[in-house]
Amino acid sequence: MNIVVKTQHFGKADQNTLVIGVFTDKKKNAIISKALKPFTEEIHALSKNKVFSGEKESTYFLRNFDGQNILFFGLGEAKSAETEVLRCAGAKVYTSLVAEKISDIAVSVDSFYTANGSKGAAFDAYVQAFAEGLLLSTYKFDKYKSDVKPSPELEVTFLQEDQTTPTKRAVDIAKACADAVFIARNLSNEPGSTIYPATLAKESERLAQKYDVRCKVLDVPAIKKEKMGGLIGVGQGSTHTPRFIILEYKPTKAKRDAKKVAFVGKAITFDSGGISLKPGASMDEMKHDMSGGANMIAAVLLAAKLKCPNPVSAYIAAAENMPSGTAIVPSAVLHTRSGKTIEVLNTDAEGRLVLSDALDYAQDAKPDYIIDAATLTGAVVVALGSICSAIMGNDQEMMDQYLSAAEKTGEKHWQLPLYKEYTDDMKGSKIADLRNIGSDRSAGSSKAGAFLQEFVKEGSSWMHIDCAGSAWNQRHLPYAGVGASGHGVRTLAEFACSV
Ligand code: BES
Ligand code: ZN
Ligand code: ZN
């Protein structure tokens, strides 16, 4: 999809389909009225007959109205229109256009103006969100299908009567966001047969070069030299050996009070459970167990693309968790880089083992903020489903900043507690400093978070994101669907840019 922005009177558009947003309270607004003027009668009739009245997520397609097609899309009540309404509207519009086999559209962005001057979200945020909705909906992962017909390119023109510079910038940001989300989705959707630690590292190097970001990869001897016993332990059952991937973005002109942001990601390229083998049903989904890492890679690239004023690094612990004669066994004790020892009571609780080393390593550079993301626990899926990610951490102000970044991107997050009692439970090993599972199945996500906190040094501001639910199957979103979602990528970059 190609989106261009032009200054032009909407009435003069010559594209074959005109696309217009309609709020339910449209009559109050002079600018909207202007954009909709030629269609006032039509809209009235539709509304009177209860066919279309501007309700959220609704669309109405008029074929060949005075020689052109018109697609109306609803935005609901102007005063409660969050950017997410525009993002979903973009997706709904895309679906209608595909269904109607339309290839060339003009969008009246002036129709996004609300009566009270875009209260709730700024006008450019509306444009960006709508463009994101359109772009994110175009995603497909069909490279392994032999008989797919390439879908026709949709030519999109955003028309605005006045100043278009902010609109152009909003569209550019939306494009950057969609590209980054697609990188995360592609990495995660790749099967376990093609993405394993070495290929993930190669792909990271390729992407880093493309985005002008530094990339360094530690192989097994280097990981051993770093004494990363957690990462080595998890990876030792597989012939696909582990890698530790480091991406570094530095702004060309860093501001004086720039904040160092560190992202840490779990990238288990396939999680079979190891010797504590998972049941067969849905085990294939565990190709996505590297989504946390994939999201972090994409987030650094996005921050770089957006010329983030803060330096941002990503530390990705990549391993394949397999059962074999060389695999770790339940009862194994691992020596982590931090010096702490862990008794492995279940080899399927492997994410926290690799993250213990990655968190420790990431803190060497003394970041101001450190965020890890991981498809860490099945418990978070039970608690929250695929709607949102869980967050937890040791700095409430930081988490509040993160939640307000998420407010802008529409990506849902929900905070879980990290009570001392959870930590005490994880410290319950009879022979080591920590054990990798709790005494029972209760509070699995918080206990996993409490475990990770043991590798966060005094004074570090840290937050953990459990994306086991949100990383794929976000079927409730019109712009995501089955497969990997890339949920979190946009918020991570937004946080890094705004902190
Ligand atoms: N990768 C899984 C978590 C997971 C489960 C992600 C379902 C997405 C969907 C993780 O490594 C794991 O297996 N965790 C165990 C921990 C338990 C043994 C304490 C779990 O959640 O069952
Ligand atoms: Zn596991
Ligand atoms: Zn896992």
Among protein residues, the one whose CA lies closest to atom 18 of ligand 1: 349
375 alpha carbon, closest ligand: 1
In the predicted structure, residue 119 carries a pLDDT above the cut 80: no
* Averaged pLDDT score across all residues of the chain: 94
382 alpha carbon, closest ligand: 1
Residue ranges near ligand 2 (ion) with Cβ within 5 Å? 271, 348, 350
pLDDT digits (tens, 9 = 90+) for 26-40: 555 555 566 677 777
Three-class SS of residue 335? Answer: strand
Question: Tokens representing 189?
Answer: 């959707």
The DSSP string of 99-140 is HTT--EEEEEGGGG--TTSSTTS-HHHHHHHHHHHHHHTT--
State the distance from the centre of ligand 1 to the C-alpha of 278, rounded, in angstroms.
9
Measured CA to CA, the distance from residue 234 to residue 220 in angstroms comes to: 12
In the predicted structure, residue 113 carries a pLDDT above the cut 90: no
pLDDT digits (tens, 9 = 90+) for 197-238: 999 999 999 999 999 999 999 999 999 999 999 999 999 999
Give catalytic residue positions: 278, 352
pLDDT score, position 30: 52
Question: Tokens representing 407?
Answer: 């407010």
Mean per-residue pLDDT for 157-176?
93
CATH of domain 2-163: 3.40.220.10
**Strand pairing partners for 375?**
none
pLDDT digits (tens, 9 = 90+) for 447-471: 999 999 999 999 999 999 999 999 9
Give kind and range of the element (H or E) at residue 203. helix 197-210
In the chain, % of residues over pLDDT 70: 96
DSSP letter for 226, please. T
Tell me which residue of 406, 447, 408 sits closest to 424, measured CA to CA: 447
Helix/strand/coil percent split, the chain, to 5: 40, 20, 40
Which of 114-123, 142-151, 474-483 shows the lowest per-residue confidence on average (mean pLDDT)? 114-123
Measured CA to CA, the distance from residue 495 to residue 232 in angstroms comes to: 32
Which of 42-46, 73-77, 90-94, 156-160 shows the lowest per-residue confidence on average (mean pLDDT)? 42-46
Measured CA to CA, the distance from residue 356 to residue 229 in angstroms comes to: 9
Strands 59-65 vs 243-249: parallel, antiparallel or unpaired: unpaired
- Mutate which of 284, 348, 467 for ligand 1 pocket (most atoms within 8 A of beta carbon): 348
Which of 38-52, 71-85, 147-161, 283-297 shows the lowest per-residue confidence on average (mean pLDDT)? 38-52
Measured CA to CA, the distance from residue 427 to residue 419 in angstroms comes to: 13
In the predicted structure, residue 156 carries a pLDDT above the cut 70: yes
Contact between 291 and 188 (Cβ < 8 Å): yes
pLDDT score, position 118: 54
Which ligand 1 atom is the nearest neighbour of the CA of 321? 11
Tell me which residue of 278, 226, 233, 244 sits closest to 432, measured CA to CA: 233
Tell me if 484 CB under 6 Å of ligand 1. Answer: no
379 alpha carbon, closest ligand: 1
Mean per-residue pLDDT for 251-256?
85
Contact between 367 and 391 (Cβ < 8 Å): no
Contact between 356 and 342 (Cβ < 8 Å): yes
Contact between 433 and 451 (Cβ < 8 Å): no
Measured CA to CA, the distance from residue 328 to residue 237 in angstroms comes to: 7
Mean per-residue pLDDT for 301-316?
98
Secondary-structure class of domain 189-498 per CATH = alpha beta
Strands 261-271 vs 369-374: parallel, antiparallel or unpaired: parallel
Q: Is the dihedral of CA 200, 446, 302, 109 positive or negative?
A: positive
Q: Who wins on pLDDT, 169 or 255? A: 169
pLDDT digits (tens, 9 = 90+) for 130-149: 999 999 999 999 999 999 98
Q: Who wins on pLDDT, 351 or 113? A: 351
Which of 55-69, 85-99, 202-216, 311-325 shows the lowest per-residue confidence on average (mean pLDDT)? 55-69
Among protein residues, the one whose CA lies closest to atom 8 of ligand 1: 468
Tell me if 494 CB under 6 Å of ligand 1. Answer: no
The pTM (predicted TM-score) of the whole model is: 0.97
In the predicted structure, residue 494 carries a pLDDT above the cut 90: yes
At a CB cut-off of 8 Å and minimum separation 6, what does 53 contact? 24, 46, 47, 74
State the distance from the centre of ligand 1 to the C-alpha of 327, rounded, in angstroms.
18
In the predicted structure, residue 391 carries a pLDDT above the cut 90: yes
The order of strands in the sheet holding 461-466 is: 214-218, 243-249, 312-321, 261-271, 369-374, 461-466, 389-393, 413-415
Tell me if 377 CB under 6 Å of ligand 1. Answer: yes
In the predicted structure, residue 181 carries a pLDDT above the cut 90: yes
Residue labelled with tokens 């987030």: 299
pLDDT score, position 12: 84
Contact between 218 and 337 (Cβ < 8 Å): no
Tell me if 381 CB under 6 Å of ligand 1. Answer: yes
- What residue ranges of the chain are covered by domains with CATH 3.40.220.10? 2-163
- What residue ranges of the chain are covered by domains with CATH 3.40.630.10? 189-498
